[in-house]
Chains A and B, each alone.
Chain A
Amino acid sequence: MRKIYLVLPEKCTGCRTCELSCAYSHQIDQQPGTPRIRAYNTKPPLEKGIPVVCFQCDRPACQEVCPTKALQRNLDTGAISIDYDRCINCHACYAACPFGNIHIDPINTRVAKCDLCGGSPKCALFCPTGALSYK
Chain B
Amino acid sequence: MDILINGKKVKTRKGEHVLEVARREGFEIPSLCHHAALPPDGACRLCLVEVEGPEGKNKVTTACTLEVAQGLSVRLDTPEVAANRKVVLEMLLARVSDSPTLLKLADKYGLLEMRLVPQGEKCVLCGLCARVCTELVGAKALTMEGRGTETYFQPPFGEPAKDCVGCGSCAFVCPVTCIEYKKTDRTIEIWGRTFERLACTECGEPLDLTPEHRDLIRRRTDLLTPAEMQLCGGCERRTTMKTMQRVVEGQQTLETARR
Hey, which bits of chain A sit against chain B, CB under 8 A?
9-10, 38, 40, 42, 50, 52, 59, 61, 64-65, 67-70, 83, 85-92, 94-104
Contact = CB atoms under 8 A, between A and B. Distances in A.
B151 interface: no
A16 to B, nearest CB: 13
A42 B245 contact: yes
A100 to B, nearest CB: 3
A91 B132 CA distance: 14
B53 interface: no
Given A50-B244, A67-B137, A88-B172, A95 B209 contact: yes
Given A52-B241, A61-B221, 13 more contacts: A38-B237, A50-B248, A64-B221, A65-B217, A65-B220, A67-B220, A88-B172, A89-B169, A90-B169, A90-B213, A91-B209, A96-B229, A98-B228
B206 interface: no
A104 B208 contact: yes
B224 interface: yes
B233 interface: yes
Nearest to B36: A85
A56 to B, nearest CB: 14
A95 B207 contact: yes
Contact of B37 (A10, A38, A88): A88
A10 B245 CA distance: 9
Contact of A100 (B172, B221, B234): B234
B66 interface: no
Contacts of B223: 59, 61, 64, 96
B236 A98 contact: yes
Interface string B168-207: 1100110000000000000000000000000000000001
A22 to B, nearest CB: 14
B240 interface: yes
Nearest to B232: A100
26 contacts: A9-B247, A50-B241, A50-B245, A52-B241, A64-B220, A65-B220, A65-B221, A65-B224, A67-B136, A67-B220, A68-B37, A83-B36, A85-B36, A85-B37, A86-B36, A88-B132, A88-B169, A90-B137, A90-B172, A91-B168, A92-B220, A95-B213, A99-B236, A100-B231, A100-B232, A101-B240
